[in-house]
Amino acid sequence: MNKPHSFVTTTRIFAAAFVAALYSCASYADWSANISAVSDYTFNGLSLTQNDPAIQGGVDKAFKNGTYVGTWASNVDFGAGDETNLEWDVYVGRYQMLTEAISIDYGIAYYSYHGDDFSSDYNYPEVYTKFGYASDYGNSELNFWYAWDYFGTGSRHAVAMIAHTFELAPNHNLRASFDLSNSFDSETWIWREDKTSFYHYRLAYLTSYAGFDFEVAAENTNLDRDTADERIVFGVTKTFSF
């Protein structure tokens, strides 16, 4: 699949921005790394591992002005006839507190895929903006993602999410989320029959113990496929700071 010129240009711009952010404030940076084991890699409710487990990990660099850069990877499985086995992402963004209670997190990510001769055809960039609100009742989120070449198809695609996390007890949290995925180019990407959108909801319990973070989540979508039906997902993460 040939990429349009705008895709190539955007990729170069993103690479330049990533490198510039990485070196702009290097002396003020903090590093962190993480590694996770999950029972299923779900992306907006769809399994990208054919309902199988995944090993995931990333490295992040944060600067005092709120800018951050990072990279993250996971094994994937897109089914029979497709040998794509790795997703590798890079991103650059900025986190700011607008008031004592309201935050904004915005940036651009680039998703790349590897393992088969045509895996790079799936590569695409995505911009995002996330708003947070902290109150006595927990943390609320309003998040948006937009891609103009979704999975390399040339389709415009957007995701909107609302979420809320509240504390059940010290070190015991519950996060509920609902997101809507929508395609704007039905000729190149539809989710089901003649539908260009689907919704996904998730309820997750989060805690930590002995330096590890644990999550157990129940989720489902309104898609009629075995890689997007109701499921329970388990995950454990270890984060290192240096």
Among 110, 113, 78, which Cα is nearest to 93's?
A: 110
Q: Give the residue among 25, 102, 30 at the shortest CA–CA distance from 65.
A: 25
pTM here is 0.88
Say if CB 64 and CB 78 are below 8 A apart.
no
For the segment 114-136, what is each residue's pLDDT rounded down to a tens digit? 999 999 999 999 999 999 999 99
Q: Is 79 helix (H, G, I), strand (E, B) or coil?
A: coil
| CA–CA dist 191, 189 (Å, integer) | 7
* Chain centroid offset of residue 148 CA: 16
pLDDT at residue 192, rounded to an integer: 82
Residue 50 is encoded by which pair of tokens?
A: 């054919």
Residue type present at position 224: D
Q: Could you read off the pLDDT of 172-228 as tens digits, one per residue?
A: 999 999 999 999 999 999 998 789 999 999 999 999 999 999 999 999 999 999 999
